[in-house]
């Protein structure tokens, strides 16, 4: 049930957000991290005057923001076709010059290679990847191509 909610929530959020957002200004990774509760400052927050009909969707987003540990969705893009977007929330277990390992609360561990256009943000400001230390709580998003998961956006909590 949780996987279904996650897939529906992230897929819906990515699809809806992708329709009205300028592609150059907002990355799929930034939208995915926002949907799981990490503010990066890269995505506009919806206005507070939303209609009452959005209540079930808001409840789902709130649930996902608090409870999502990791997941992936495949989206269709105009430029490169299908793209797998991966998100994870957890603690840094190891970090070196070109990768970071993250362990989620359920024990799931994934090693992420730093992508070409990696952005690391803390308190809505861009910081260097050297700010990542073992034990730091982060949200991370990127793409998967085969067995390689590449980080494009890291939000330090």
Query: Could you give the CA distance from residue 140 to residue 72 in angstroms, rounded to a whole number?
Result: 12
- Read off the pLDDT of residues 112-121 as tens digits, 9 standing for 90 and up: 999 888 999 9
Instruction: Tell me what pLDDT residue 10 has.
Output: 46
| Per-residue confidence band for 139, with pLDDT thresholds at 50, 70 and 90 | very high
| φ and ψ of 19, to 5 deg | -70, -40
Q: Is the pLDDT of residue 13 over 90?
A: no
- Read off the pLDDT of residues 73-96 as tens digits, 9 standing for 90 and up: 888 888 888 989 999 999 999 999
- Read off the pLDDT of residues 28-38 as tens digits, 9 standing for 90 and up: 777 777 766 67
The answer to whether the beta carbons of residues 28 and 18 sit under 8 Å apart is yes
**What are the residues whose beta carbons fall under 8 Å from the beta carbon of 119, sequence distance 6 or more?**
40, 42, 126, 152, 153, 154
Query: Could you give the CA distance from residue 147 to residue 133 in angstroms, rounded to a whole number?
Result: 25
| Per-residue confidence band for 40, with pLDDT thresholds at 50, 70 and 90 | confident
């Amino acid at each position: 049930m949780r996987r279904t909610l996650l897939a529906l929530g992230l897929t819906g959020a990515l699809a809806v957000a992708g329709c009205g957002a300028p592609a150059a200004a907002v990355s799929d990774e930034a939208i995915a991290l926002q949907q799981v509760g990490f503010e990066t400052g890269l995505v506009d927050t919806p206005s507070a005057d939303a209609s009452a009909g959005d209540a079930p969707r808001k409840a789902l987003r709130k649930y996902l923001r608090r409870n999502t540990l990791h997941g992936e969705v495949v989206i269709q893009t105009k430029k490169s076709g299908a793209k797998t977007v991966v998100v994870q929330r957890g603690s840094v277990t190891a970090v070196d010059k070109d990768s970071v390992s993250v362990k989620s609360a359920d024990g799931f561990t994934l090693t992420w290679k730093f992508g070409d256009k990696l952005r690391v943000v803390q308190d809505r400001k861009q910081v260097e990847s050297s700010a990542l230390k073992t034990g730091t709580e982060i949200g991370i998003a990127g793409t998967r191509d085969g067995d390689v998961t590449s980080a494009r956006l890291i939000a330090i909590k």
